Structure 1
Amino acid sequence: MGRLAKRAVILVLPLALAACFGSDGDRPSLMEGTQAGGPQPFPDNFRGDTLALMRAYLNNPVGVREAGLAEPVLREIGGRQFYVSCLHFTPREADGSYKAMRERAAIFVNGRGDRVTDRTTEFCAGAVYTPFPELEKMAR
């Protein structure tokens, strides 16, 4: 592989990964592409994928308390069905204090984590949370 081709791979790989993981925002998502067509498979690695999403989502993942995660369920998003797993947690603030518990929803596309959103009212009503100690043990 030539030097120019290696540089292209190095530049494209982070962009491809950013399209797969990250927080809710203006960036492209697999949810919006044709790759998300058809029935969605259950996200077998939803705990690990949720941790990866939260590592990118949280400014400081250290010191999270009271973390809970719900099993993924199918929810309609933009007219299509996607698996959504709700989580709640209390993050440590920059000054070291703890404030209110937060609720977020991890959205999965083709069995993989795609994004985290804070629009949880429609997705997380009736969610049954189980302890999620892996989130509480995260380090930088």
Structure 2
Amino acid sequence: MKDGLQLGISAKCATILLLPIALAACAGSDGGGSITYTDDRGVANQPFPNNYRVELLAFMKTYLNDPRGVHDAAMAEPMQRVVGGRLRYVSCLRFTPRESDGSYREPRERAVLYVNGRLDRVVENASDVCAGAVYAPFPELENMTR
């Protein structure tokens, strides 16, 4: 009787331990893609972000600790790129912000991603995404106030 009880407990423990693995396999059964709750699978053409300059300036006011005194601001027009396996409009931004001590360090490069025509997020490591981008002066970023 004791051996049968131990065998039953072992089977229950094994089932409990294997359940998360089985559920994970079900979740990844769509060809290895990530789970999404929207119909955007990243392959459809995205709408062009018509208000990208205005949205970017509004975002940069909150992104930078002090939006005053930005130097060498330049931006590339939005272009479609594959980022994270999804087709997105990306605008590349290069600027030198004023540090808290008033000094200036090296320029920063950021990739700004747009989803459904709206600013979605900023990628700080933009060297791959922004390779080959053609920059033009962006004086509105240099003229920001608090």
1:34 aligns with 2:43: no
> Per-residue deviation at 1:39?
2.3
- Which has more radius of gyration? 2
> Per-residue deviation at 1:78?
2.5
Q: Give the distance between the partners of 1:130 and 1:33, measured in 2 at CA.
A: 37
Q: Which runs of 5+ in 2 are unaligned?
A: 1-35
Identity of aligned residues (%): 58
1:89 aligns with 2:66: no
Q: Secondary structure at the match of 2:144?
A: coil
Q: Give the distance between the partners of 1:107 and 1:33, measured in 2 at CA.
A: 19
Q: Which runs of 5+ in 1 are unaligned?
A: 1-31
1:106 aligns with 2:136: no
Q: Decide which of 118, 133, 136 is 1:130's aligned counterpart.
A: 136
Q: Secondary structure at the match of 1:123?
A: coil
Q: Deviations over 1:57-102 (max 9, x none)?
A: 1111110011000011111122210000001011000011111111
**Post-superposition, which runs of at least 4 consecutive aligned residues in structure 1 deviate over 4 A?**
none
Contact 2:83 2:129 in 1 (8 A): no
Q: TM-score, normalised by structure 2?
A: 0.70
> Per-residue deviation at 1:53?
2.1
Number of aligned residue pairs: give it. Answer: 109
User: Are residues 77 and 48 of structure 1, via their aligned partners in 2, closer, same or farther at CA, if it must alter by over 3 Å?
Assistant: same
Q: TM-score, normalised by structure 1?
A: 0.72
Q: Which has the higher contact order (CA 8 A, sep 6+)?
A: 1
Q: Give the distance between the partners of 1:135 and 1:65, measured in 2 at CA.
A: 8
Q: CA RMSD in A?
A: 1.5
User: Are residues 87 and 43 of structure 1, via their aligned partners in 2, closer, same or farther at CA, if it must alter by over 3 Å?
Assistant: same
The residue number in structure 2 matching 1:8 is none
The residue number in structure 1 matching 2:20 is none
One-letter identity of the residue aligned with 2:139:
P
